[in-house]
Structure 1
Amino acid sequence: MFREMRRKKQLLPLEETIAVLDRRTSGVLALSGDDGYPYAVPLSYIHCDGRLYFHCAKSGHKLDALLANPKASFCVIDLDDVVPEEYTTYFRSVIVFGTLRVLEDEGEKRRAIEKLAAKYSPDHEEGRLKEIDREFKVLCMLEMSIEHMTGKEAIELVKQRG
């Protein structure tokens, strides 16, 4: 169903792919947008229990797109070092494919936003919980079930590892 990576030597092991998702703070969610145009939007996220979680407003282009077609991809860039003298970039990235859904259950929604908030504000529990309480009614949480993901890095980085 999903394409095999063409440059298999550059494939990151699953543990390293997950580590990229866990350490980074943003990525780009790609959806089928209006009139067949792709719609890609940068987002904060949390990777947890084999899923990705995002927050958004209860209306807008992103929500309209996922309601029309819940299939999506999400890309996270871990490393992007331009090496001019070598005419290349030393990169490391992850691409996730999956299906999105809006979390309708208030308990699921609450657990997801608390995990997301803790990632970005780990030392301010009281403040983040107050903010969640204040915004909870207008908040929409999205869950992406991961169906396929790959991590890839520049061949130069593969060679450095040995």
Structure 2
Amino acid sequence: MFREMRRKKQILSFEECVEILQKGTSGVLAVSGDDNYPYAVPLSYVYNDSKIYFHCAKAGHKIDAIAKNSKASFCVIDQDQIVPEEFTSYFRSVIAFGNARILEEEEKRKAIMLLAVKYSPDQEEECSQEIDKSLPQLCMIELSIHYMTGKEAIELVRAKNS
């Protein structure tokens, strides 16, 4: 169902992929958009227990696309160091594939709290108060990961192994 990576030496372990998702601050969600054109949008997110959560408006392109086709991918770039003299970049990235769904009212609070605490870790009380105010107009999406893969530049592999 999912393609095997050709450059097997460059594959990141599951643990490395999770680490990248946990520490990343933004990623790109890709869905099947209008007229089946790919629609990719950068956004803030939180990773928790093989799921990625993000918030959005209750109406718009993302919501329409997910309602039409729940399959989505999410990409996080951990490193992208351009090395001009070698005509390359030293990169590390993860792509997660899964199904997206709009969370029900009772599920939203937990998900938005995870997101808020990630970006404002020392302000849990303030986060909770802000969430109380904005929860009714807030939409939360959960991407359940079915398959995940990560890759890094061969130069980074060699540096780890030396």
TM range (shorter): over 0.9
Counterpart of 2:40 in structure 1: which amino acid?
A
SS at match of 1:25: coil
Structure 2 residue aligned with 1:64: 64
Q: Distance in 1 between the 2:142 and 2:78 partners?
A: 22
Structure 2 residue aligned with 1:83: 83
Q: Which structure 2 residues correspond to residues 65-144 of structure 1 after superposition, within 5 A?
A: 65-104=65-104, 106-144=105-143
Q: Distance in 2 between the 1:121 and 1:129 partners?
A: 11
How much does 1:107 deviate?
2.6
Q: Distance in 2 between the 1:49 and 1:22 partners?
A: 10
Q: Which runs of 5+ in 2 are unaligned?
A: none
Aligned length: 161
Structure 1 residue aligned with 2:144: 145
Residue 155 (structure 2) pairs with residue 156 (structure 1): yes
SS at match of 1:107: helix
| Residue deviations 1:79-138 (CA, integer Å, cap 9, x gap) | 00000000000000000000001001x331111010110000011112111111111000
| Residue deviations 1:55-86 (CA, integer Å, cap 9, x gap) | 11100000000000000000000000000000
SS at match of 2:100: strand
- Alpha carbon RMSD of aligned pairs, Å? 0.7
TM-score (normalizing by structure 1): 0.98
